[in-house]
Chains A and B, each alone.
Chain A
Amino acid sequence: MHELAICSNIIKILKTQVVNKKIKKIWLRIGEISGVNCDAIQFSFPIAARNTIAENAEIELIHVHARGKCNTCHAEIKITTLFDACQYCNNYDYEIIQGNELQIIKVEVE
């Protein structure tokens, strides 16, 4: 359940970026293969945010599809799991182009 540690990190970052304001809403960018469970983020956040500037803040998750570049046929491919094969040549050796994101985009304050 590293999502609680991730939510604590979010609070830590926000404390450095938002001064003397209460946060109403937070937008997060989450890659499809970032290894983070979105339900667990929604579950953990209120616990991490208790008695902080982000208490009761709403979380909006912006999902990023995962894509890779095949090292065999060089095609750009769609990935949904870490063990997907290239859809064109069936090889497993590819570089991930996107889908690992785990970022705070912006916040709305009161």
Chain B
Amino acid sequence: MCGHCGCDKSEMESHEHHHQHDEKIIQIEQDIFAENQMYAKQNREYFTHHNITAFNFVSSPGSGKTTLLIKTIQALKSSVPIYVLEGDQQTDRDAQKIAATKVPVIQINTGQVCHLDAHHVGHAVMDLALVDNSFLFIENVGNLVCPALFDLGELSKIVILSVTEGDDKPLKYPYMFAEAALLIINKMDLLPYVDFDVEQCIAYAKQINPAIQVLEVSATQEKGIESWLQWLLQHQMTPEHVFASA
């Protein structure tokens, strides 16, 4: 570590260490994601304080996120309060589908932007006025690239991959799989009709993230839903989390 300007010379391959004392040079040394990180931290503190279990659902478009959420809500809403944030570039079609299940939902349209960020989520959470001890499901914009880089303050990311997309997606879009706690392989009912090697897909995902857990589900056929609900309830924040973070 350089004692003069604080830079770490060893980390850089081609660091030109001139120490320009020219007044035309202004040292900044700031993380470009600092602002998002700050909002994410605020969201996380809020969730922890109120014992809200927030999951960030990420996938490519059309993987079945909304269908899985609807089945999940139908199974759990009588036992635990559930809130949903829907992220899409345009339209409130997903929010309408979720609203039909009678749980509170807010649609965020990101317009030209390809991901939700922690600032978006913080505002929407305030508008939703969640009760304590609830679940918040954030359905991110369908995109396997950008949402990986934006922490929203969630407890975990859950990545959904449908068998129609190809078993090599973890290697092609590794950031998303590196960030997720759980991989849900969806549309398992279509497996006989597509060239998708489930074991190979899991092996690729574990190559990137050895700790990733995997569930095989068909949301439309309601197969594997029990295991998924069990996983969700096992990971629900308990008051102990609140005490631990106090």
Contact = CB atoms under 8 A, between A and B. Distances in A.
B97 to A, nearest CB: 27
A82 B146 contact: no
Interface in B39-76: none
B115 A12 contact: no
Contact of A102 (B32, B113, B114, B146): B32
A106 B20 CA distance: 11
Given A65-B13, A93-B210, A108-B24, A9 B204 contact: no
B149 A92 contact: no
B28 interface: yes
Contacts of B114: 1-2, 5
Contact of A64 (B13, B36, B146, B150): B13
A4 to B, nearest CB: 8
B210 to A, nearest CB: 4
A103 B29 contact: yes
Contacts of A24: 24
B171 interface: yes
Contacts, number: 101
Contacts of B35: 9, 12-13
Contacts of B24: 24, 108-110
Interface string A77-110: 0000111010000001100001001111111111
A4 B177 CA distance: 23
A110 B174 CA distance: 41
The range of chain A's interface size is: 35 or more
B240 interface: no
Contacts of A75: none
A13 B206 CA distance: 37
A20 to B, nearest CB: 12
Contact of B146 (A2, A17, A62): A2
Contact of B178 (A18, A29, A82, A107): A82
A49 interface: no
A107 to B, nearest CB: 5
A4 B110 CA distance: 13
A6 interface: yes
A12 B150 CA distance: 17
21 contacts: A10-B32, A14-B28, A17-B28, A18-B26, A24-B24, A29-B12, A35-B145, A35-B175, A62-B12, A82-B208, A83-B204, A83-B207, A83-B208, A85-B207, A92-B208, A102-B32, A103-B30, A104-B28, A105-B7, A108-B25, A109-B26
Interface of A: 1-2, 4-6, 9-10, 12-14, 17-18, 24, 28-29, 35-36, 62-65, 81-83, 85, 92-93, 98, 101-110
